[in-house]
Amino acid sequence: MSTTRSRTSDQVDVRGPRFAAWITTVVLVATLLLWPVSPVASVVVLSLQAAVFAVGAWRGPRSHPYGLIFARLAAPRLGTVSEKEPVAPLKFAQFVGLVFAVAGVVGFATGLGLLGLIATGLALVAAFLNAAFGICLGCRLHPLFARVRKNTSAPSPA
């Protein structure tokens, strides 16, 4: 495999993750609005979003449910791709979203509503920043965590 091809296959159209962030924003707002009316509905909706985050963290943006919607419905109607971004930071961002969603589900499901609200709210802020402004907080944290992981897995000098 050529270097150019491998570099291209590890990158995706930036519009896909932003599209996914808009859907995530809507789902997280719905979760917060449902909580006072039906905590059980909040748990269900947030659990489904956690599953979506898990797929994105594990399989990446090309297999992400919202990414598939983008690829099938939105991308064919848009112009050519002008900007791409790497997959690894996006997968890490989905993992961060998964952590917050799981914390939110645990909070809502165990009666710790404040934990659920805070965790869901933090995930919402991150999703909205990505959707509206293209600021991916998880992507920005990725290099730091990659560096820490590299330093902790490096063999110690003898």
Task: Say if CB 87 and CB 60 are below 8 A apart.
Answer: yes
Residue 76 lies in a domain: yes
Number of domains in the chain: 1
| Cα(157)–Cα(102) distance, integer angstroms | 38
Spell out the per-residue pLDDT of the chain, length 158, in tens.
444 444 556 888 778 888 899 999 999 999 999 999 999 999 999 999 999 999 999 998 888 889 888 878 886 788 787 788 888 899 999 999 999 999 999 999 999 999 999 999 999 999 999 999 999 988 899 888 888 877 776 565 65
What are the pLDDT digits (tens) for 19-36?
A: 899 999 999 999 999 999
Which token pair is 115?
């934990």
Give how far Cα 131 sits from Cα of 1, 21, 49, 121, 134, Å: 34, 5, 16, 15, 6
Domain that holds residue 13: 3-153
Residue 158 lies in a domain: no
Residue 31 lies in a domain: yes
